Structure 1
């Protein structure tokens, strides 16, 4: 039996239990001799006894108002097995809703059963649904490398697309939703939240028993007091179709990718393959046909697929059949980061069964191809979409699916079937939208207005900077950064590359900026542990890049940021130095050349040798303002260059297309 004394917790988990940062826990450990001793782990990532930590936190008044969920989760994690902890969470959820229910998972160990009882009691005291969602989220985070889930924003978007595209839906008083590979129920949950009409039935299937149990638990909370019928089965939907003969109004699916052992041999004569037997290497097309086989006339399916399915040679015959019969109505290319795997631009295929059961697309029908890969969130340190903008754009496009006279937004295009049914049958949106996205008149007008605004700002800076006067022949005294460090006017911290062992699971992190990031677009590409990164800059600190090819200095604004190798953080004493004045002096090109250790562009800059003017704090203000203006002037030049080049391309395309009126 697992007791709390045998449950290990990391510094990051202790921080969550106490509701503080990891650095605070490290300070407690250094300052208090009574802090529990390490029972495992390493010097970098030590582990402690949960029971001893809880007692120490209580004795020292550091638990505050943190609920029991944080204390409960490490015990679930200590069960060790992914399946047992998942089944235990699902069983706890069932007991929260039905206190007198007996344990229905006979494979649970004694420790797991005891934990189920404690979790159920805690849930009824602190909120059943909230407790379950907390435990489920922690479970998913712990096993993120073993599981593929559908992010809630994507699940919501898929549901809205299906509801918007299905035919005859507005007149129906009942709705059946199918998800044959439901995982922990993200898509089914989105359908329950988006559809509030009467007569809702949810049919879901999952081959992994732990995931199926968690999906049933999640839907159990969502269907309470709604009169919704939900049926979740544990089976491999392709090999053992639990809902054979059942029809669905909408089907949603995020199937497993690239699985060769999907049942090719035993399912060779299956009646679902009306568009052809999927090749062994095309399991995704088996899922597509499985969904179509369960749609009612006019029903719609939305499925997440890897981009290769749209163009692989092995699947062109089936893609052609899907187009000729009108089953494949739209393909939406999503931005990278929309779902796992995050580095890939996944696609949504929108399928629809003919309302009259016909086996051919109506004459003149087009396919809608939507390239939404450009809706990545600007400035984000990790790839991912701007969900609000992406959802609005995609829904506007698909709502025009049955309205040929309706104008499509941006990079969405209707492609005649004859153009798609060539030797390749490639339905990748980017192949067809690249030449069809010429800027509209309104977009050109907006671009010109932005350029005028930038030029006006630039003119203001030119007026200010050109009016600066300089005395000649006057020698100004300077001090090096090393001198200022000795005088206590500033402090210096050097960035480092964090080691893998320093990052505990689920430990809070901050963006990590490196020199290669500066050479690209300046967007941090990695993360570092929040409490152990050697150099984390906060708003108002000065950052210096100590390498000639990327030499620069600036005042940091925004949330905390960790620095990688060859980047340095300077924090000024505000009674002695103005941060903008310091950054302006340091970033002078001549300063970097003088402090460089070699003449090559790969040489390092000795930060301590950089020179700063020696001026009283009151006189630094005028220099600081001039430096700020100069930095803004430089930024505007870059923006204007990009805007101008974009306008040259857009206007050139419009002129080459003809139609000039003035």
Structure 2
């Protein structure tokens, strides 16, 4: 066991509110900077108490929050390779605190806490999947976690630890993006009933399902990783979900063989050649054909269909190659003939794709068309077209998504890539679109050049007195509003600003019925998304153009400033900077910017900073729009050259 909490360069940067480059510079410039106590040559670790002492002695402004201290104490318990087990054990302890706070208070006062704590936690969390040989509980770490729970609440305290874990193991964890998870749930999960995720990981999809259905849903999950299954169970149980999470391999040892879920959502492991081909050859789940050895994803598709009720829906993420590999064409063809595969959306040019399936009911006539949306349209097109198409697949969908005749797909290749089945345009139409896109890109590039502006160079970094957003809120300079996790959508007429609207700069696209806790937006509000996207709502902002007001959407936070004391763009710039330093990982909960550090400056200086931040935010929006225009131009260029409607320029000589 490590003797002390340790931090790496990224942790130090977060504590001091600087970039990693500044930490590297300190190590070169200061001979008394703490020496590494572990880690590797490329990612050294330092003793937290030595770093704190050094920052204090050199006058560097820093803040070690209770959450940061709890995380570092947890990491100090064992090697990072066992960090998942440590986090799972911490989750079990936090669930025990949530369920038996009085028992913890009695136990914490005893001298034999270390001996009695494991039995107390096990008794209060018997519904959790258990870890093999968990490390012993450290009393001081337990007390620090208890303080964090008292400060933030059990659910938010554990989400913070999960976020830190996702940051530490970002290369090992394959998490589902929050916006994709939420869209998958909206597309296939009913308001109530049972939802199954047979490869649930840390529970991202099931948490999105609980946010959608609330207490009306029942959630089943399984994952091959014991620590991931336990983490998922804790996250759901802390939010009051009716959940059963089991550890194990769903393909080889299905924990829910009799399940008839109302919906199945899944982000399975991709390209797994050891999925069990040999021992599962005669499995009854392969109703649409034996999945090839190298097509584990088609095994997961059929497993999901076997565990959903007749008429129930499946949303599953698939690698782009799964739509066109020759080895899987027989299974794909059978899925189409049976009417099981209903829609495919390419989420990006490099994948993954989202497949929507429906388990056919007895005697049901299979549809004649498959809904497709390519990477240029993606989720928004699928969400707009799917409800009507799922009810009447014989009608042509409106919008960018399109219906493709299944009979046209059942050739020798059964190639289901949406980009391949984009409708062909006439030569004049494509030429006009290509020329218009090229002109828009040129105009956008010129506008970007004019908008870049100039910032004065500062030879030495100025040390300024700092505060935090939480302190500004206590002083009344800003009021923080958060939307409910779930809105009542039935009959909803109220416009809702969503995270996608925030990113695109467009008007509100969501709708909701009136409900408790809803937040009406106002001019001057600073709106922040978990991804770090920030937007200041001006009086003429399209987000405020709806009569009767616009509501703040789920997962978003609004910061309403006292304009006589705090400039909104000044605040927005530092919130944006804080999101760059500590990005929120997909599926780990809401962004918490209360710890973002803000300089204490008079209002005139704030406004000068605010004007510069406003220009940078506009530049960021322009870059995003220019990138989208560039992708459109490239796509049209390839299409025109391949179809013969465009030609290369004549070569001289």
Establish whether TM, by shorter chain, passes 0.5.
yes
Using the alignment, how far apart are the partners of 2:441 and 2:73 within structure 1?
Answer: 59
CA displacement 1:312-357 (0-9 Å, x = unmatched): 2221111111111100011111115xxxxxxx32111110022x32
For 1:370-385, list aligned pairs within 5 A.
Answer: 370-371=373-374, 373-374=375-376
Contact 2:305 2:314 in 1 (8 A): yes
For residue 45 of structure 1, report the CA deviation from its aligned partner: 5.9
Deviation at residue 109 of structure 1 after TM alignment: 2.2
Give the structure 2 partner of residue 174 of structure 1: 192
Structure-2 residue corresponding to 1:204: 221
Aligned residue among 195, 199, 216 for 2:213? 195
Q: Given the alignment, which residue of 138, 142, 151 partners 2:164?
A: 138
The CA distance in 1 between the partners of 2:399 and 2:208, in whole Å, is 26
Q: Which residue of 1 aligns with 2:356?
A: 350
Corresponding pairs, count: 441
The 1:407–1:43 alpha-carbon spacing in structure 2 relative to 1, beyond 3 Å, is: closer
Q: 1:29 to 1:426 in 2, by over 3 A?
A: closer
The Cα of 1:154 is off from its aligned counterpart by 1.1
Superposed counterparts of 1:559-570, under 5 Å = none
| Corresponding residue to 2:422 among 433, 454, 467 | 433
Contact 1:182 1:212 in 2 (8 A): yes
1:260-659 → structure 2 map (5 Å cutoff): 260-336=273-349, 344-354=350-360, 356-358=361-363, 361-362=366-367, 365-371=368-374, 373-374=375-376, 390-401=378-389, 402-403=391-392, 404-410=394-400, 412-433=401-422, 435=424
Cα offsets for 1:293-319 (capped at 9, x unmatched): 111122100101112211122211111
**Does the alignment pair 1:15 with 2:32?**
no
Residue in structure 1 matched with residue 185 of structure 2 by the alignment: 159
Q: Take 1:445 and 1:326, find their aligned partners in 2: how far apart are those partners?
A: 35
In structure 1, distance between residues paired with 2:279 and 2:138: 38
1:112 to 1:268, Cα distance in 2 relative to 1, 3 A: farther
2: CA distance, partners of 1:121 / 1:69: 9
Alpha-carbon RMSD: 4.4
1:132 Cα deviation after fit: 1.2
**1:91 correspondence with 2:92:** yes
Partner of 1:103, secondary structure, is helix
Gaps of 5+ in 1: 164-168, 337-343, 376-389, 459-488, 493-558, 562-634, 655-662
- Determine if contact 1:88/1:116 at 8 Å carries over to the other structure: no
**CA separation of 1:41 and 1:316: change in aligned 2, threshold 3 A:** closer
Aligned equivalent of 1:183: 201
Aligned counterparts of 2:94 and 2:274: Cα–Cα separation in 1: 33
**Residues in 2 aligned to 1:426 and 1:452: alpha-carbon distance in whole angstroms:** 33
SS in 2 for 1:144: coil
2:233 matched to which residue of 1? 216
Pick closer, same or farther for the CA change 1:261–1:490 going to 2, 3 Å. Answer: closer
CA deviation string 1:190-222 (max 9, x = no partner): 1111234x6311111111001001101111222
Shift of 1:11: 3.5
What secondary structure does 1:287 align onto?
helix
- Residue 18 of structure 1: CA displacement? 3.6
Question: If the length of structure 1 is used for normalisation, what is the TM-score?
Answer: 0.58
Native 8 Å contact 2:396 2:403 kept in 1: no
Cα deviation for residue 396 of structure 1 reads: 1.2
When residues 321 and 59 of structure 1 are mapped into structure 2, their CA distance, relative to the original with a 3 A threshold, is same
Cα-to-partner distance string for 1:48-74 (whole Å, 9 max, x where unaligned): 321233345567776665421112222
Residues 198, 222 of structure 2: 8 Å contact kept:
yes
> Which one has a bigger Cα radius of gyration?
1
Q: Are 2:124 and 1:124 equivalent residues in the alignment?
A: no
Instruction: Measure how far apart 1:106 and its partner are.
Output: 6.8
TM-score normalised to the size of structure 2? 0.59
| CA deviation vs aligned residue, 1:442-475 (integer Å, no higher than 9, x gap) | x9799869969989x99xxxxxxxxxxxxxxxxx
Q: In the alignment, is the contact (CA less than 8 A) between 1:252 and 1:301 conserved in 2?
A: yes
